[in-house]
């Protein structure tokens, strides 16, 4: 609370809030870091205290900061003229534009979300290589290549016999593995870069703000805490704030609450008057939530939270997660495990049988030690060959190429698939359950039939299909 202001009563507002005014700005468990500031704070509030207005909406917190006039003083702004375009640090002189609002950025951050760390090509290659089929093929390729080189270079061959090329099979498997890893990682790398460019272009837009008493257009990324922004029908609200003044302002807050009801906004000074008069009710709502949409009316509001501290920013940060495997990839992983177990088990069983046979004939084997060793290597090669034949090394490559080809074709049709599992999930969907706020259309629906007094009438000419004929 600002010094010199009238003390506020320390009690909830008749059940409107479940917290007293003195506790309304205290940090919630786990959010203490938002209430700390490095260095000197030239403002009356921290980012964490301003977040207490919302989640849930709190009139007690609104009163604790002194209403909209308290915000004006505490944020060192002007509800009419907005921020000064010459502001740098609050004690310094005018500096170049790139250093504008230095203190505000230090205390409250800017209206951008931290970029999600893009994966390097090497990490993508490593993740692509974690496929169990590829690992099994690598083991088989190494053993096959080693035995092939030994057969070619370590065993003496009769004069005039053609050179041994047993190592070719191992090299072919290695080449197939390299192709699969390169194609898959390059496809993922290109897709991530496209997503970054798309998000940068999609999120940037201009909004109307008041700075130094003039209405100007600024990028949504340049909004600062304390800015005064215009509100008009159709606007997507870019930051949290408090409604200053306006006429018949109504917002759609379904993106934050899930409810499609129009929320009527009350100017901040009117809310403060009713709070001080003891006539405040839970219907009073001066809070402007980022991510919501203006449906009716016009007005202005003062920004209190931006970027990761805003409601929309917190939702976006909570939705960030590592990409999950698609249903097809899950099935392929199960298939790879099954093939690995069956192929490895069959190869081990065959090796045991042939090895026992080799030991049984060993007393009667009059060959040289080199010949006996060659026979044992032949047994081992047969077992390795069984593994190589059983494992479908072309399966990962086929899936990778199919996904790369499909996403490229969809991109040409202006359909950028952000999550590959979405296509497979919708392809396997049989029933979609949606509540009253669910939206599955473009809101361009045409009535094709109605039911009036138990009489069904069709709004179009029925076809020859008897199921489409009107029933009376």
Active-site residue list: 435
What does the alpha-carbon distance between residue 390 and residue 370 come to, in Å, rounded to a whole number? 30
Q: Tokens representing 310?
A: 């805003």
What does the alpha-carbon distance between residue 401 and residue 327 come to, in Å, rounded to a whole number? 17
SS3 of residue 346 by DSSP: helix
Place of tokens 């009667």: 364
Nearest CA among 201, 198, 228 for reference residue 213: 228
SS3 of residue 344 by DSSP: helix
Strand bridging mode 214-219 / 206-211: antiparallel
The answer to whether 219 and 204 are in contact (CB under 8 A) is yes
Nearest CA among 47, 44, 28, 52 for reference residue 106: 47
Q: Tokens representing 228?
A: 């005064």
Nearest CA among 16, 25, 20, 3 for reference residue 70: 3
The answer to whether 297 and 252 are in contact (CB under 8 A) is no
Strand partners, 247: 298
CB atoms within 10 A of CB 129: 16
- DSSP for 310-329, written as a single string: SHHHHHHHHT--PPPPPHHH
Largest CA distance in the chain: 112
- DSSP for 251-271, written as a single string: EE-HHHHS---EEE---HHHH
Strand bridging mode 240-252 / 293-305: antiparallel
């Amino acid at each position: 609370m600002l010094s010199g202001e009238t003390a506020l009563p320390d009690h909830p507002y008749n059940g409107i809030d479940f917290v007293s005014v003195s506790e309304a700005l205290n940090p919630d468990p786990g959010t203490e870091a938002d209430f700390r500031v490095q260095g000197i704070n030239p403002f009356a509030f921290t980012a964490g205290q301003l977040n207490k207005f919302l989640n849930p909406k709190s009139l007690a917190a609104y009163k604790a900061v002194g209403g909209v006039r308290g915000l004006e003083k505490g944020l060192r702004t002007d509800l009419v003229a907005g921020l000064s375009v010459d502001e740098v640090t609050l004690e310094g002189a005018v500096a170049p534009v790139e250093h504008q609002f230095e203190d505000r950025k230090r205390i409250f951050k800017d209206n951008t979300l931290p970029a999600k760390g893009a994966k390097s090509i090497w990490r993508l290659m490593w993740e692509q290589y974690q496929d169990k089929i590829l690992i099994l093929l690598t083991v088989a390729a190494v053993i096959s290549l080693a035995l092939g080189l030994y057969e070619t270079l370590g065993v003496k061959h009769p004069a005039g016999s053609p050179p041994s090329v047993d190592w070719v099979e191992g090299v072919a498997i290695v080449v197939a593995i390299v192709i699969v890893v390169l194609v898959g990682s390059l496809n993922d790398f290109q897709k991530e870069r496209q997503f970054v460019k798309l998000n940068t272009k999609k999120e940037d837009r201009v909004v109307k703000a008041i700075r130094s008493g003039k209405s100007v257009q600024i990028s949504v990324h340049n909004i600062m805490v304390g800015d005064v922004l215009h509100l008009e029908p159709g606007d997507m609200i870019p930051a949290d704030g408090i409604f200053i003044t306006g006429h018949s302002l109504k917002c759609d807050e379904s993106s934050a609450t899930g409810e499609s009801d129009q929320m009527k906004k009350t100017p901040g000074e009117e809310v403060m008057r009713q709070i001080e008069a003891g006539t405040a009710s839970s219907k009073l709502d001066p809070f402007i939530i980022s991510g919501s949409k203006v449906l009716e009316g016009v007005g202005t509001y003062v920004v209190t939270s931006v970027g990761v501290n805003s409601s929309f920013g917190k939702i976006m940060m909570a939705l960030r997660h590592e990409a999950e495997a698609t249903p097809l990839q899950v099935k392929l992983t199960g298939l790879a495990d099954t093939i690995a177990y069956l192929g490895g088990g069959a190869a081990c069983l065959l090796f045991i049988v042939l090895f026992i046979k080799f030991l049984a004939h060993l007393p009667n084997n009059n060959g040289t030690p080199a010949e006996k060793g060659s026979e044992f290597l032949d047994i081992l090669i047969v077992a390795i060959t069984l593994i190589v034949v059983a494992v479908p090394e072309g399966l990962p490559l086929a899936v990778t190429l199919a996904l790369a080809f499909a996403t490229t074709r969809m991109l040409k049709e202006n359909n950028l698939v952000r999550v590959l599992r979405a296509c497979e999930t919708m392809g396997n969907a049989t029933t979609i359950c949606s509540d009253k706020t669910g939206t599955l259309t473009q809101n361009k629906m045409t009535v094709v039939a109605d039911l009036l007094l138990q009489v069904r009438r069709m709004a179009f000419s029925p076809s020859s299909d008897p199921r489409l004929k009107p029933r009376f």
